[in-house]
Each structure stands twice: as C-alpha cells, then as structure tokens.
Amino acid sequence: MATTQPRRRIPYPPLISVCASLWWLAAAAAASVHEFPTDGTVIELDDASFDRAISTFDFILVDFYAPWCGHCKRLNPEDFLIGLNSGGIKYSNHSPSIQKQNSVPNRGQRRSQPPPPREEATAMATTQPRRRIPYPPLISVCASLWWLAAAAAASVHEFPTDGTVIELDDASFDRAISTFDFILVDFYAPWCGHCKRLNPELDKAAPVLAQLNEPIMIAKINADKYTKLAAKYEIDGYPTMKLFMHGVPMEYTGPRNADLLVRFLKKFVAPDISFLESDSAVQNFIDMAGANFPMFIGFGLNESVILELARKYKKKAWFSVAKDFSEEIMVAYDFDKVPALVSLHPEYNEQSVFYGPFEGEFLEDFIRQNQLPLTVPINSETLKLVKDDERKIVLTIVDDELDENSLKLVRILRSAATANRDLIFGYVGVKQWGEFVDAFDISKRSKLPKLLVWDGKEEYHIVVGSEDVDDNDQGSQISRFLEGYRDGKTIKKEMNGPSLIGFINSLVSIRTVYLLVFIVAVLMVIQNFSQTEENPQFRGIQDGAEGTDASTSHIESRRDYQPGNKED
C-alpha cells in the first residue's frame, strides 16, 4: 500500500517572494494596458513594438503599408473609420527588421483589399486586450516555486516517515502536528514504569501504521520536561496518548498492545461506510474491525440512509452496507428480511437487528443505544463511555462480578435490558472496584446483590422494598424493581464519594497519599539519624522540633495537589 504524503508547511520567505511576484505581475499588466491606446485610435507600430501589440490584443487588424503607395493613402479614411470601432493598427514597412525578414510584399505587388462596408465596420466590437507577462516577474515566480519545492522537501525530511517513532520537543511539536494529518503522541515521563513498558509496543506498531493508505505517525514527548505543553493538553498522568486528527486532539483510550492498537487506530482513517459485495467480504470486514468498536451492517440498505449517522458516529463505531449476500449470512446474523440493520458487539458477543423505520429519530436511537452492550461492566474505561450517554444507569452491585451466581444474574439483566433500551444496565463487583462501590453506602454488612438507579453524576435512587435481590426468581424481582422505579416509588440519595471522573481520580489519589507518607517517613528517619550522630541532647530535641515543623510545612505545601486520572 502506498503511503500518503504529509501536508506541507509553507515557510515565510517563499510567501514573500510570491507576493512580490504578484505585485510585479499587476504592475506589468497595468503598463501593458497604457502602452497602446484603446480609444479607437489607429496605432502606429515599429519593429520594437510589433510583437508586444500582437501579444496584448486578442484580435488585431494590421495594415502593412508604404508611404509612397497611392492605394495605402486612399485606404486611410476608411481605415480610420474601422479604427474608431475596433482598434485598428498601421505598421510601416520601412522598419529594418521587417525588410530583413521579408515579411512584406515586393514593391509593385498589389496586396490591398477594399475596406469592409461601413455597416460591418460599425458592428465590430473592441475586445479586451490580453495581458503580457514580462520576464522579471516570471523569473520571480519560478524562484518562488523553487523555494516552495525546497520547503516541501525539507518538511518531509524533517520528520521520518518510515515508521520510526518520532521524538519531539517543544520546538518541533507544533510543526509535527501541522505536517501530518494523523499523528498519535505519547506524553511520557522517563521515570514512569508504564511508559517504559509501552515503548516496545509503540515501536512495533509504528511501521504498520505508517504504511496505511492514510498513514498514522507515532511520536512521543517528555511531558515531565516540557511542562507547558503538558499543561496545554491537560496531561495529568503518564503515559497519556492523544491522537491528533488534522491538528485536533482527542484522548486515546484504546488497547496498548501493538496488534490491538493498530486495529483500534485503523478505525479513524477508515472510510465512513464500507461496501461489501459478497459473504467473504462481510466476514473480512468483521475480522478487520476487531472487537473494540460496535459494528453496524446494513443488509439491502441504501448507503444514503445511514451516511449522515455514519459520519456522526465514525469515532465510535464501524459502518458498512452489504449489497450481495447469501441466505447463510441471513441465518448467521439472525435476520429474516431486508432491509435490515444488524448491530454487532464482538467484545461482548451481542447482536441485535433493526427493521425500521429508517427515518427520524428511530434509526439514530438504535445506533446510539447499541454503542454500549446490553449489560456494561463498570470500570474506569466504561465510565468514560457512559459519561456522554443521557440514559440513567440501572446499577447492580455484587460481591464478585466473576462469581458464577453473579454471571447468572448478569444474563437475566441482559434480558431486562433488551426490553428497556431507554436505560443502561451496568454491574460492578465489590472485589473489583471497592472504592467506587463505597460511594453508594455499601459496607461489609450490606446485603448483596443490590439494585439502584444512578444518574451518572452525584445522585442515585433506590426503589422502596425492591433494592435487594435474593436467589429466588431473580427475573421477577428485577421486573418489580423496574416497575417501582417507573412508578416513582424511589428515595433519592447523594453519593458519598467523588463523582464520575472523580472515581477514576481516586485510584491515583490513594497512591499519591501513600507516596507522600513514605516521603515524610524517609525524611524523618534521615533527620533522626543526623541527630544521633551529633549527640547533644538539647540540640537534638531542638533539631527534632525543627524537623517536625519542616515536615509539617512540606505537607502543607502539598495539600492542594490534585493528581490526575492516570495510574501513575
């Protein structure tokens, strides 16, 4: 596959040269207009002005005459009449250059024709003269083009395009972003263990991404050193990766394994809609898309129906239209008529079918609701996905989401979610994310599983008499819970902990507290060791007090520190 040339950045010197060239061209055009009259006067030419006149006017009638010629003299009055209407020109054959070129007839030859009738002369219209480009501006334009070509070549060679991970600094960062249409930037810190483990994955993925039809370059920058850039792009943890598409950044939240990273990023340079012409093309599309994004395949559906929505949700899902397929495909994807829009969620092994109507809000509701699986495991990544969804979240809290009883309950929740697509159904285990669960007043004495409805922000509702789920007929208990919620039999409560993104921050906050405690402890040990060596008791007590004050001051200085939402 051929690589796409990166966008070029035009430096200022050639731009100035182009402006100068345009000024010269304008001046030359103005001079060309004023050199020859255009008011109908018969223009007298010589060998120096002949070529310029021919190149200036689109239509020009030239009278090659001799001063001694009687016919020429008799032609003058009519010639002047033509000149008033069409801009005629007289040329003298006494010019040495014309005689040298033998471009006029010999003396004695009759070459003149009777003048055109007066009616024809009156009907002839004056044509706007062409502009002649003088040589100096032309040379200047050529020089400008040479400068532009050199600048483009320099832009290409400044950054490698062979798949090498590009190391950026604060001086080259903006140039790299403006040079490439798609570039993934890793904001790292040299001391970060996660960053070190990510490096070989990026090195492996970079050559593959650089060979795409729409290449994606990979670059990295030391955000711990270039703090202004880190602050500009709100980097609060390491590593943080951002994908710049035509200069616009978006945070990368996909997998970090090289193969999965390549598959994930291909989504952003893929066409809005893929066209599938056979059963094998359908299967190849599904294999290529992978499991990180939901897929929508329109069987027998006109692409114009979903084109607008495909562009709107391009960053979140794959879209395709199958034009030719067999009955085996219909059986495999569980639809029995066309047109049909099939939604696939390979990561969660889920699919659903939409038969229409393919208009208004119905189609977009189906696509929006199928961005998430029917039952969502709540973690730091899926919280970001539900953040932008306006639907309420039916949250089921279990002790361990991997337990067999919990998995059975999740299957029942999936059936409830199918019939209640206006709600998101999620589940979380205390063992998987205890800090998150604590915000809903869950303690060791709480009876689990427990159901509640969360708004995704600061509030949640419990349904009176239906918040607990036991092992007997769980489907009926979930149905009663939903009926009670829709009937308004709820109690509103405020969350105890941080809100949506705050739960992600809490992971870092705890680690940061541990780090601060460790630093203070080390400082106190060092201080105590120095006091033991100096030995004087009174001075040791005094120094200990000062050390305590210094430690207290250090803690106060760090009290306002707010860590980010990354693990490090």
Please confirm, yes or no, whether 69 is among the known catalytic residues: no
The two three-digit tokens of residue 227, written as one number: 């703090």
Q: How many CB atoms lie within 10 A of CB 378?
A: 24
Burial class, 274, CB count within 10 angstroms (exposed 0-12 / middle 13-18 / buried 19+):
buried
Cβ atoms 325, 279 nearer than 8 A: yes
Phi, psi dihedrals of residue 385, rounded to the nearest 5°? -75, -40
Burial environment of residue 186 by CB neighbours within 10 A (0 to 12, 13 to 18, 19 or more):
buried
Which single residue is written with the structure tokens 């902990």?
A: 497
Q: Tokens at residue 152, please?
A: 């483009």
Compute φ and ψ for 460, nearest 5 degrees.
-150, 160
d(CA 437, CA 339): 44
Q: Tell me how far apart the alpha carbons of residues 496 and 515 are, in angstroms, rounded to a whole number.
A: 25
Instruction: Classify strands 240-245 and 182-188 as parallel, antiparallel or unpaired.
Output: antiparallel
Where do the H-state alpha helices sit in 124-251?
Answer: 135-158, 173-179, 193-210, 227-232
Q: Catalytic residue at 195? A: yes
- Candidates 69, 72, 142, 195; catalytic one: 195
Q: What is the token pair recorded at 185?
A: 């930037």
- Give the Cα separation of 541 and 536 in Å (integer): 9
Contacts of 417 (CB under 8 A, 6+ apart): 374, 375, 423, 425
- Which amino acid is located at 283 in the chain? Q
Residues with Cβ within 8 Å of 428's Cβ and at least 6 positions away in sequence, in order, are 377, 378, 379, 395, 396, 397, 398, 401, 436, 437
- Cβ atoms of residues 564 and 237 within 8 Å: yes
Question: First vs last Cα of the chain: how many Å apart?
Answer: 38
Q: Pick from 533, 566, 526: which is nearest to 550 by CA?
A: 526
Tokens of 298: 């329109």
Cβ-based neighbour number of residue 452 at 10 Å: 22
Joined tokens for residue 166: 């590009």
Contact 251, 241 (CB under 8 A): yes
Place of tokens 């020009």: 60
Contacts of 422 (CB under 8 A, 6+ apart): 391
Q: How far is the C-alpha of 213 from the C-alpha of 266, rounded, in Å?
A: 10
User: In whole angstroms, what is the distance from residue 90 CA to residue 518 CA?
Assistant: 102
Hey, which residues are catalytic here? 192, 195
